[in-house]
Structure 1
């Protein structure tokens, strides 16, 4: 039918192949449920088990089935050891660190497999199962490996299903995967259950690899790389990384689809493309899978903080980095005149990898997103540059078009990727990389069967020799480093870090997350494209093999080993991982040592080798500062009092006058500045907000109370624009803003705070206040890339003024994550006031602070209203505080407004009392409340107490 073979033999092969992918998917699901990231070493662990069996049977002559069991056990133990030695050490760090570590493990384990048995893993010579029958289906021979898969795989899957559902240990694995904390409370050792899950997954990987290798027609076990992993991931992603039966069924379907595509010569090269599309569609249908929200609070600072101001007066500190950079460039240029052409080619390759690594440093380091497709953009740019340069006879035009094509490709991939963060982004970009290398670049319009790239010319001098071309590569590298450094340390990098640390808070500060992330994808793609151009034009013949999908994984290693903290980290990593092996040559043992070094850096040096150099630099700067009478501890950590601690800013009276203009009254003839008109919101079958409506007059403070689960915070999210209502509308100053984004509402003056006041843990207080000024003076991408600092200096001066007025100067250089809750509240208020709010939505401002600070906070809020005329809507469980603040109060319960009026009227309303104390009359009487007294005496207020909930949702 239409060129496709639907014969029974083709379908049977598809089912057998799909069963292999299904087993891989099962292992990936088990690991994900226990560790919440993809184990990129899953296929390599299977390869190791296959190598062990080949060693036992082919080299040592041991019985097949005994070796089969032992090899599976060894692979299972290896996988469990990986969890104990590596994964467990990464607990508490972002999930992408775990994925990066497994990338390093994958390389190491594959090298170990080759060391164990380098010649016994070919499909032609690999041992096959014994003592099993063979048969034919429509002249298609079904060998013993297929028979073993047909007989044993269902038994394995049935046994695994029974174990997870009915055995005590299996149920413990599921419980620990669902909620480790609750599992520990129930006496389940959650960590060891994760180890057991990894162990089972490793055994399944070996089972699959051992049976599939004899069917690979000569391919070695290194074929268990990104391509096969992607096919296993497809089934796992369709199953939402949770359901083993769905993963198996989906994998069987993928195996059949693959065989049908292979049966048609016109679609044979589209297998990876179709699987990539399946993965992206599956991910888009479940956008919460693998989102980075679970990593909130785990990030480290990856951009060097600015030097203390006092250090800038020390000439040796000011000139040392400039002299060092100048010497480094001079040495790099001088190498062109002393090295051979072969060495120059290696240095050019190092420059290309460094440029691609710079793109990884921006995307993975600064924004916290793992992309495994950067070399795909490099290949696209190289092809575009070569073709345009050839057709226009202008190398510069070709270069610019190549960079632009990579930027556009990255931005296009970034459009759906903005919904696919964390795990999902890594998987989707890996799919894109494989589709690019196996199909896109093979098209005639790109690289086809190979093209001869032109060389650049300088003043009519062609750079034909490698030593001459190396100077061009060095120039491109300098430009790339300069632009990257400007972006990382300017306003653009600061905003991207803010979005990484706390996307909601950044949006509340008017940072447009979609636009900034799209810009980031485009810039990172352009940098990767520049690296691809450097690599591509440096070769005599450019083919698809110049940009393999595996290189996207290698360049992640380059960046991580060199260090995500420093701009030049990728250069350090490229010299070690790319340059060293090419210059000195490495045996298998040397490659294993390099893989071990990569892994050790990920585990023990979170900031890479560059981070070690930075710490050495800081020690040197501190020593130079001491020689000039400067106290490094005082300058780096702020001024403290005689006790060694800075006092809480809540106890110091701020100077609000002149801080921001007085909030204007309504300008569109509306009596109310904020109107919430009948908004409702459901989450599945749960009604979170049910026809809520209220109005707030200019300058008024409206208090909102209610028990946990009343829907207060959800209502706030609707008003602030973070949640879209199912019905109803929000009117701000006479304008319907129901469809406006949080950024648009904040720019107009409708600003909200958050319960935890987490802000941006890795940014300093000074940098956080500069983020809040994006509303006044938005950062421009091009000015940030070119290093124009005028706007940055204005923002810094404005932040210094706010710090001084809010009594926060002591904390200017402190990371927000180091501050007490009370101090973070003041920092948050300072940021909110910087936005010149007309209405402040404060979500439990006193949560987590001491009672003495709560009283001071109330004074500060009243002063803000008095001095600045700011309207406020306040959710609060400290009822005495809220009663003191509020002009009016509303009470919510079960998503509805159940009372409104003065604070006294609302607190003593029978419906409100019942919502807090329940309908049990004995409980109400024990509270001391006397309801409906004829003389109006209602007795003591049972709600006039400080109630601290876990959450108000």
Structure 2
């Protein structure tokens, strides 16, 4: 490797300065609003193209046009905030991120509506002279502008944030939003200021880049590669540091100069290197802070049909009738419209719907926002074409030749290969979630477009194309466009049926459970790692299948022109969001809307507006659940009418212990055995010790209470026992050392856990939550469910029956079809206990089971907990601040202070211990008296406190 010349390094550093300034705009928006702005570059198009228009076409003086253009860019940022961001202010951040994609497309549409500019002219520059300080270095006027403007703008931004009232307000709102609100700082006003500055920075950057490139026609094509480099610099800066963002931009510019100088024959290699840098940076950023704060619970909710309405014939067939009608139209339309070009269009719509189904699985269910799914589709298409053509590999001195596969075999194998590749990519993103993953997958899409697609083994011999001719499928000729359309329609129907079946099974429940609450899912034996890898592989396989079929439609792989480029991945997300993210029918509706309408109505002036970024933004602002949300609203209204006609539902409960609780055969434990032993456990967070050498024991059929002040280390100790935090020391469960075992495996070994917040899984119903816990007794098989095997249906019916028994046993019958997010805290606590019954755990760790519960409900918890102990034969470790309850149900009690045990023994002993009185109960005699007695609560006597 050689070092590039001084001139190349200088050119790279100058380009990097602009990238760094653009990255500062990303950091600014993220610090103040927690949104990754994917429109940061395109927001500058409005002003930068206007600048060229004013100077070149209308001959406005340079500096006047510059001021007007910068003001236009800032004004566009203000409009974006007031019209889009403010409307979505309380929405999940991922929705705002998708909205920025729409804003980027909207900016491009605005620029395309401008009057034309003479393409033969260069982009305006303030002066035309060049400066050569040495014989090996020449500085153009555009580069001199960058050297002057970028440091000045960066310093001005630093002065604005540090010295002005508004700037300090921005910093205060970003660093401590709650404190900012207490000081009457309006977050919305801060957001408006931030987006105005972002528009100003974007306009400045694009004016500088365009002047350096000189061409007027390249202004609107800076696109993904420029955005990727700015995103990479922002991630290197951990989305917080302006200085590091600017320096990282310069570093990336130098890296690009170095790579291009040494590997000029490898176009796109820089983008592959940047992908590796992004993945590394995202990994370290995700380790350093919480990346799971952004909610992904934004998919439209589908309320289950009440059990008693399932007996009404038209209710049973309502959804099926709609799908059959849509299918009938899809079958008939190619017979009515006979042009092959229209058949090709319809096939493209179907193939896009298949690809969009992968986004439904990965983003809608798993909460992994992917902006690179069409890259997997492209790799699937190229792989299928390669397999169809045949392979010739040179291994040393020998040559291995593989004969080409048939068309259906090529498509199937390509789907499997893409699924495996997606699992590999997903393995590198297991720690990453949400918005940062969007950056990683976008980098993957750009790297595929610029580098991976161009590998020679993907192309025909001696050509730069990849042909993929189709012939027959299982003896049926599919060479005509109509026949191939029906083939793709059949595949789409199969994919939709499989996806719908997976969503209603344990596969869908565990995927959504891990998305909504990984900790609670792990406590129910569901590990996040396996679920995420399964989601990545399944989504990658579906995307590869859709991409291969899309390539078969045009019988080549247009990897450099359309379909499989990074903007197409962004468009695919828009398709799913417009249709309804997370819904099975959303990909079909979105594809018909975005791709179908403009082609079906080419002369309609309104359709392009509805299907473009403007249509996306309108839907996000008023129907964030997409088109399917409208259909769901009508469906729910119709079901509500039918339910009211049947009158109030009968109360459904049972006092008998269901077989799902008592059927598990257990080995009896001796009375002196220890079911849970904790020895010398320590937990540290940075320099703070939360648990300091704790030891305790829980014996068979024993309830052990944990008391202490807030911050004493009770919940942290329970997290250490459950494996949710890193700890030293030893933890034994049923005689087995589980100190180095993850939380999901500890749950499988018999450890049950509830959490103080009782969040559970907001997007699942009560029945689905209990069914998720029942996965501990037998996992739902992916293949058996997808293939609709009989034993898969039998297992699903058994889980539903067991879940209903447990729900009725705890008196939750009327809430069975209610979403957990809609329940009161007390009801969610009961649902948690139903999950523990489903787990059939031997040791239960209950973290403040009555927190947030009304007094009357609290009084009922004592007998309920003791009933569960008797039926399960389980031991319990309970954290509770309600002294009458904990003293009444506990056989022994530990009192903690600053992570250490200060008292242990019988409840009466601990209650009267001087250390406990001084540390926790206080010196007020009434507080000690109110701690209750064992006999009262055990007998179910309400406390008079």
TM-score when scaled to structure 1?
Answer: 0.91
Contact 1:291-1:423 within 8 A present in 2 as well: no
Query: What are the residue-to-residue correspondences of 1:759-770 with 2, within 5 Å?
Result: 759-770=760-771
The equivalent residue for 2:227 is: 229
Secondary structure in 1 matching 2:384: helix
Give the distance between the partners of 1:738 and 1:481, measured in 2 at CA.
43
What residue ranges of structure 2 are gaps of 5+ in the alignment? 391-403, 934-945
My pick for the range that moved more, 482-491 or 375-384, is 482-491
1:466 corresponds to: 481
Q: What is the CA-CA distance between 1:352 and the residue it aligns to?
A: 1.1
Residue of structure 2 in register with 1:630 after alignment: 646
Match of 1:354 in 2: 353
SS of residue matched to 2:86: helix
Equivalence for 2:521 = 506
1:688 is matched with which residue: 675, 687, 690?
Answer: 690
1:615 is displaced (CA, Å) by: 2.5
**TM-aligned CA distance change 1:805 to 1:942, over 3 Å:** closer
Q: Which segment is superposed worse, 889-898 or 350-359?
A: 889-898
Aligned to 2:549: 534
User: Which of residues 53, 56, 65 is equivalent to 1:55?
Assistant: 53
Tell me, in whole angstroms, the C-alpha distance in 1 between the residues paired with 2:639 and 2:524: 35
Q: Measure, in 2, the Cα distance between the counterparts of 1:868 and 1:322.
A: 42
Residue in 2 that maps onto 1:900:
904
Contact 2:773 2:836 in 1 (8 A): yes
1:875 aligns with 2:874: no
Please state if 1:729 is matched with 2:730. yes
Q: Are the equivalent residues in 2 in contact too, given 1:40–1:102 (CA < 8 A)?
A: yes
**Matched positions, count:** 907
Q: CA deviation at 1:612?
A: 1.2
Q: Is the 8 A contact 1:258 1:271 kept in 2?
A: yes
C-alpha displacement of 1:90: 1.6
Kept in 1: contact 2:361–2:582 (CA 8 A): no
Q: Look up the SS of the partner of 1:368 in the other structure.
A: coil
Closer/same/farther in 2, CA of residues 367 and 686 from structure 1, 3 Å limit: same
Distance 1:307 1:779 in 2: 23
Gaps spanning 5+ residues in structure 1: where? 641-645, 647-651, 918-923, 930-938, 947-953
Gap change, CA 1:459 and 1:891, over 3 Å in 2: closer
State the SS of the aligned residue for 1:762: coil
> Within 5 A, what are the aligned runs for 1:510-909?
510-545=525-560, 546=562, 547-585=564-602, 591-593=608-610, 594-620=612-638, 629-631=645-647, 634=648, 655-656=656-657, 660-661=661-662, 671-725=673-727, 727-787=728-788, 788-909=792-913
- Using the alignment, how far apart are the partners of 1:143 and 1:251 within structure 2? 20
SS of 1:941's equivalent? helix
**In 1, Cα distance between the equivalents of 2:725 and 2:438?**
27
| Residue 119 of structure 2 is aligned to residue 129 of structure 1 | no
Answer yes or no: is the 8 Å Cα contact 2:382–2:458 preserved in 1: yes
3-state secondary structure, aligned to 2:683: strand
Gap change, CA 1:653 and 1:539, over 3 Å in 2: closer
How much does 1:873 deviate? 0.6
What is residue 433 of structure 1 aligned with on the other side? 445
- Shift of the alpha carbon at 1:867? 3.9
Find the counterpart in structure 2 of residue 941 from structure 1: 928
Quick one: distance in 2 between partners of 1:376 and 1:201? 29
> Does the 8 A contact of 2:722 with 2:743 survive in 1?
yes
| Number of the residue aligned with 1:933 | none
Shift of the alpha carbon at 1:624?
A: 6.3
Q: Which moved more, 1:659-668 or 1:818-827?
A: 659-668
Contact 2:145 2:208 (C-alpha < 8 Å) held by counterparts: yes
The 1-side partners of 2:74 and 2:254 are apart by 29
How has the CA–CA distance of structure 1 residues 64 and 307 changed in structure 2, closer, same or farther, with 3 Å as cutoff? same
Q: Deviations over 1:812-842 (max 9, x none)?
A: 1211111111111111111111111211101
Per the TM alignment, residue 460 of structure 1 is displaced from its structure 2 partner at its CA by: 5.0
In structure 1, what is the equivalent of residue 294 of structure 2?
295
Q: Which residue of 2 aligns with 1:643?
A: none
Q: Structure 1's 943 and 119: CA in aligned 2 closer, same or farther, altered over 3 A?
A: farther
Aligned pair 1:102/2:120, yes or no?
no
Which residue in the other structure is 1:935 paired with? none
- SS of the aligned residue for 2:292 comes to helix
Does structure 2 retain, via aligned residues, the 8 Å contact 1:27–1:205? yes
TM-align CA RMSD = 2.6
Contact 2:762/2:820 (8 A) holds in 1: yes
Task: Give the conservation status (yes or no) of the 8 Å contact 1:108–1:592.
Answer: no
Q: Quick one: distance in 2 between partners of 1:71 and 1:666?
A: 80
Inter-partner Cα distance in structure 2 for 1:362 and 1:681? 37
Displacement after TM superposition at 1:803 (Å): 1.3
Alpha-carbon spacing, 1:915–1:293, altered in 2? closer, same or farther (3 Å): farther
Deviations 1:654-710 (A, max 9, x none): 654756238957759972111001111211111111111111111111111121221
Q: Structure 1's 621 and 838: CA in aligned 2 closer, same or farther, altered over 3 A?
A: closer
Structure 1 residue 887, shift from structure 2 partner:
1.5
User: Are 1:151 and 2:152 an aligned pair?
Assistant: no
Q: CA deviation at 1:369?
A: 2.0
CA displacement at 1:131 relative to structure 2: 8.4
Q: Please, which of 201, 204, 210 is the counterpart of residue 204 of structure 1?
A: 201
Q: Distance in 1 between matches of 2:351 and 2:252?
A: 36
Q: Is the 8 A contact 2:414 2:545 kept in 1?
A: yes
